[in-house]
Amino acid sequence: MIKQLTPLPEFLVSRYKNWKSNSYPNSEGHFKNLASYGQNPSSMVISCCDSRVHATAIFGADAGEFFIHRNIANLVPPYSPDDKNHGTSAAIEYAIKELKIQHLIVLGHRDCGGIKNGHNLHSNNLNPDYEFINKWLSILLPAFKKIKTNIPKLKQIEQLEEESIKISVINLFSFPYIKKAVEEKNLSIHGLIHNIGSGGLKFLNPSSEEFENL
């Protein structure tokens, strides 16, 4: 199998060499410190795989600052320890138990393909070609049940983007050590939605339980 691999494409090799020659020297000390002393990020970000979501750029974060987990539609599944593979839950467990992060941010975004697919799935229009995506997007069902159905589809999807983050926050609290860390004020949880085109950022206001402009 490994013999079937091909060399890294030239455009990536040249981009890497350009970074190593021009950018790396400016931060060499920072990287060497990170390598020597290990990571100590203050925050975990759970964001979508979407290539347009640039979590480090919008917060001006440097290497070592954010522990980032990306998945389809930035979802958090409910706490369910069993014999299955749970990539998202494993990342959350490591962030809390080992890194002891102080802030956990669920970073959603507008125009999310995962959320659109989730809307289709729960509107009885699932894509039968998907072998993993439909199961993953079943996490959205409680959010889908909360959206209005007598409004245009685009508005429904916007609502689903917001409700999905609320469900992920609720699911975070189903992890006993997250609930404990929040109650002991060692951890704060934040829900955000980023508008890629406008650069806008909305936050889930805990008082109103609605998304408001930052």
Q: Which span (58-66, 108-116, 129-137, 190-198) binds Zn ion, by CB under 5 A? A: 108-116
Question: Which is nearer to Zn ion, 48 or 178 (by Cβ)?
Answer: 48
Find the part of the chain contacting Zn ion (CB under 5 A) among 12-20, 109-117, 145-153, 167-175: 109-117
Query: Which is nearer to Zn ion, 161 or 181 (by Cβ)?
Result: 161
DSSP state letter for 186: S
Burial classification of residue 134, based on how many CB atoms lie within 10 Å of its CB (0-12 exposed, 13-18 middle, 19 or more buried): middle
Tell me the closest approach of the beta carbon of residue 170 to Zn ion, in angstroms.
20
Q: How many Å apart are CA 176 and CA 7, to the nearest integer?
A: 45
Cβ nearer to Zn ion, comparing 41 with 114: 114
140 contributes a contact to Zn ion by CB under 5 A: no
Stretch of residues binding Zn ion (CB under 5 A), selected from 11-19, 55-63, 114-122, 161-169 = 114-122
Dihedral sign (CA 61, 91, 168, 43)? negative
CB of 19 to Zn ion, least distance (A): 26
Closest CA to 142 of 74, 71, 208, 78: 78
Residue 50 sits in the site that holds Zn ion (CB under 5 A): yes
- Closer residue to Zn ion in complex, CB, 92/157: 157
**Within positions 29 to 48, which residues make up the interface with Zn ion, using CB under 5 A?**
48
Cβ density class 107-121: b for 16+ within 10 Å, e for less = bbbbebebbbbbbbb
Query: Residues in contact with Zn ion, total (CB under 5 A)?
Result: 4
CA distance 166 to 205: 11
Phi-psi region of 188 (alpha: psi -120 to 50; beta: other; left: phi over 0): beta
Residue from 55, 105, 112, 178 that binds Zn ion (CB under 5 A)? Answer: 112
Please say which residue, 96 or 165, places its beta carbon nearer to Zn ion. 165
**Residue 147 engages Zn ion in binding (rule: CB under 5 A):** no
Taking the complex as a whole, how short is the minimal distance between the CB of residue 145 and Zn ion, in angstroms?
21
State the minimum distance, in angstroms, from the CB of residue 144 to Zn ion: 16
DSSP string, 73-135: GG--PPP--SSS--HHHHHHHHHHHTS--SEEEEEEESS-HHHHHHHHHHTT---TT-SSHHH
Task: Return residues touching Zn ion (CB under 5 A).
Answer: 48, 50, 112, 114
